[in-house]
Amino acid sequence: MGSTAEEFLVTSEDKAFDMDHRRIINYNIGKYDAAVDRGLARIINLENTKRKAHVVKWKVIENLDKILPEFEANFQKRGGKVIWANDAEEANREILNIIKKAGAKTVVKSKSMVTEEIQMNEFLEQNHIESLETDLGEYIVQLLGQKPYHIVTPAMHLSKEDIAKLFHEKFGTPLDFTPEQLTQKARELLRDKYVQADIGITGANFLIADTGSIAITENEGNARLSTSFPKIHIAVVGIEKIIPSIMDLDLFWPMLATHGTGQNLTVYNTILSGPRHGEETDGPEEMYVILLDNGRTNLLAQKDQRQALYCIRCGACLNACPVYKNIGGHTYETTYSGPIGSIITPHMAGMDEFKHLSYASSLCGKCTEVCPVKIDIHKMLLLNRRDAVNEQLITTKEKWGWALWKKGMLSRKLTDYLSGKTKNLMLRMFFKKTWGHFKEMPKVADKSFSQQYQEKNGFGD
């Protein structure tokens, strides 16, 4: 077991028995569940809608080599510039080149998981560029020096008292400030930053091939401000975010909203198709879209698991997962946590280091059940486990333990021959540490069922 996996086990135990953490998470996810139930009730035929979304994503992922150049050509026709980045290092280098060429010093950015993935803020800070988060949740975790806790709600792990205390320490606001007052304070602090910033950086929820546009979904309006005031707009987007047509937003916008927050439609939905044109009064003078691979083609190469690229980052599987609800988002030590993170991270960041995430599941199937694009998530977890074994990424102890178990289970004579005392000894030797010190090991009976049956009835098999 690697160091990442060992840290995961230690942190998981700490979080699972942190009652305050559990209280906050259960409260916030409870509110989410109630809102989503109301939102989904408004969709007439949810199952058919999910199937349609699945098929649309299936088509584009199977034809990425054709549809991405279509997006590129259409975006460039409108004056936009497309940059292809193989990995995080290349993406960050291209962003820095744009910033240096413009002589820029300040960046405002809207909520984006892909910029978290490439650790853009840290990279820019090392190069003396101020990068300020403008989404309220992202702004809060940035002030704390933390990573986002959740794909959709970055500060889900914090109570309103925690945030009031943070603002009191940073900005001197009263400890009894309400959430509305705290939001107003953040708005005042950020408003000048939009106007002064040289560059705005965003992600995108969808790349639209037929119009050469990006679509951004948000609830606070900060993305619109980040893309309207600065002279340069850079959008960093994973290559899997593509959809064929602007008409498909009629399907994906409501599905993202209902599964993400329970809303019929998110408050702000913006389509951007390049830099400012003609008599337009706002928007950037230059617009770049950086198409990021960063391990996505590794996942694309896996025929059985490539459907994980259908994900629209709604976060529904995180909120449904009993493991996530107990150990929380930071425990995973990955950009994408929860069930979807557990299936994509081993392929994007390395199976050897992150194979343990595919075992951090009860395989209850709730994640698959709630997915708006019908990704077979719990099956993907099993396939990752298979791959880890096939690639020999297991310890010698684990390998021999399961080899002995298999040999015993396949042989009736061997199963009967070994006494209960021997079996219990083997369980303690091979499984006690992984079973967990908060649990009692199961006690095997002294005689097998077969032996007891023979003795009771006086005959053999």
pLDDT of residue 1: 44
Is residue 66 one of the residues assigned to a domain?
yes
Number of independent structural domains in the chain: 2
Please say whether the beta carbons of 220 and 187 come within 8 A: no
Q: In this predicted model, what pLDDT tens digit does every residue of 98-123 receive, in sequence order?
A: 999 999 999 999 999 999 999 999 99
Q: In this predicted model, what pLDDT tens digit does every residue of 180-227 receive, in sequence order?
A: 999 999 999 898 889 899 999 999 999 999 999 999 999 999 999 999
Is residue 324 one of the residues assigned to a domain?
no
Is residue 232 one of the residues assigned to a domain?
yes
Q: In this predicted model, what pLDDT tens digit does every residue of 330-385 receive, in sequence order?
A: 999 999 999 999 999 999 999 999 999 999 999 999 999 999 999 999 999 999 99
**Final residue before a domain boundary, out of 252, 267, 294:** 294
Q: pLDDT confidence of 460, banded at 50, 70, 90?
A: low
> Range of 279's domain?
43-294
Is the same domain home to 279 and 424?
no
Q: Which of 380, 375, 377, 381 is nearest to 356 (CA)?
A: 381
CA dihedral angle for residue 311, residue 313, residue 319, residue 325, rounded to 10 degrees: 100
Q: What is the 3-state secondary structure (H, E, C) of 226-258?
A: HHHCCCEEEEEEEHHHEECCHHHHHHHHHHHHH
Is the same domain home to 407 and 283?
no
**Final residue before a domain boundary, out of 224, 259, 294:** 294
pLDDT of residue 72: 98
Q: Which of 86, 136, 452, 29 is nearest to 298 (CA)?
A: 86
Task: Give me the helix-helix angle, 160-171 and 136-144, nearest 10°.
Answer: 60
How is residue 275 written in tokens?
């830099």
Q: In this predicted model, what pLDDT tens digit does every residue of 131-189 receive, in sequence order?
A: 999 999 999 999 999 999 999 999 999 999 999 999 999 999 999 999 999 999 999 98
Is residue 354 one of the residues assigned to a domain?
no
Q: C-alpha angle with apex 400: 404 to 14, nearest 5 degrees?
A: 110
Q: Which of 368, 348, 292 is nearest to 54 (CA)?
A: 368
CATH for 190: 3.40.50.10420
Is residue 49 one of the residues assigned to a domain?
yes
Summary mean pLDDT of the chain: 92
Tell me which of 49-63, 106-120, 211-225, 445-459 is least confident. 445-459
Report how far Cα 77 is from the mean position of its chain's Cα atoms: 33
pLDDT at residue 77 is higher than 80: yes
Residue 236, CA distances (Å) to 12, 23, 375 in order: 32, 35, 24
Q: In this predicted model, what pLDDT tens digit does every residue of 248-300 receive, in sequence order?
A: 999 999 999 999 999 999 999 999 999 998 888 889 999 999 999 999 999 99
Is the same domain home to 405 and 259?
no
Share of the chain above pLDDT 90, in %: 78
pTM, rounded to two decimals: 0.91
Handedness of CA 215, 219, 224, 230 (dihedral sign): negative
